[in-house]
A = this chain, B = another copy of it.
Amino acid sequence: MSVSQSAEVRPDEVDAGAGPSGEPVRWLAPEQQESWRAYLLGVTRLTEALGRALDEDAGLSLSEYEILVRLSEAPEHAARMSELAASLVHSRSRLTHTVGRLEARGLVERRTCAADGRGVNAVMTPEGYALLVAAAPGHVRAVRENLVDVLTDEELTALGNAMARVAPGVTG
């Protein structure tokens, strides 16, 4: 009767049965289940805390902040829309809308791309850079307080390594 969080169902009706496609369902073992749930809860809480802090003290969402970060690292503080979308794992559409808002706030500008007539470069303005510089210390502090300083170096490294193994293989 119980279906485990976001990962597992063990209703009697399904037990040991075959999936829709014929193979038996390989439910998660209890310890796997526990790890998975800890992951979900931790990620949700952490994301929510970082987003809230960033918004409160800089008026930026996490994704806006990330866009500014990428631009700050790019040559000329400029990057193609599609590069940004790919590196942030956002849809092109989402990026268009978000950059549009940043542009409306004067934090970013759009320039048509000389090399490729279809392309658009997002360029961070001095105001955008200034806001990023102002926002960063608080954000780093929040990342430390809620993650980095909570874990030992080994734990943080293990976390990073695990997620680094996950990312490239992701289906889709």
Chain A interface (Cβ within 8 Å of chain B)? Answer: 1-9, 11, 13-14, 19-20, 25-28, 31-32, 34-39, 41-50, 52-53, 62, 65-66, 68-70, 72-73, 77, 88-89, 129, 132-134, 136-148, 150-151, 153, 155-167, 169-172
Cβ contact within 8 Å between B69 and A39: no
When the two chains form their complex, are residues B72 and A3 in contact, meaning their CB atoms are under 8 A apart? yes
Give the number of times this chain occurs in the complex, counting copies. 2
**Minimum Cβ distance to chain B for residue A146 (Å):** 5
> CA of A162 to CA of B161 in the docked complex: distance in angstroms?
12
Residues of B with C-beta under 8 A to A50: 6
A47 to chain B, nearest CB (A): 8
Task: List 5 extra interface pairs beyond A31-B157, A35-B159, CB under 8 A.
Answer: A26-B141, A31-B153, A39-B147, A42-B162, A151-B162
Most buried by B among A2, A62, A160: A160
Candidate in A7, A37, A148 with the most chain B CB atoms within 10 angstroms? A7
Given A53-B172, A72-B2; A46-B9 close (CB under 8 Å): no
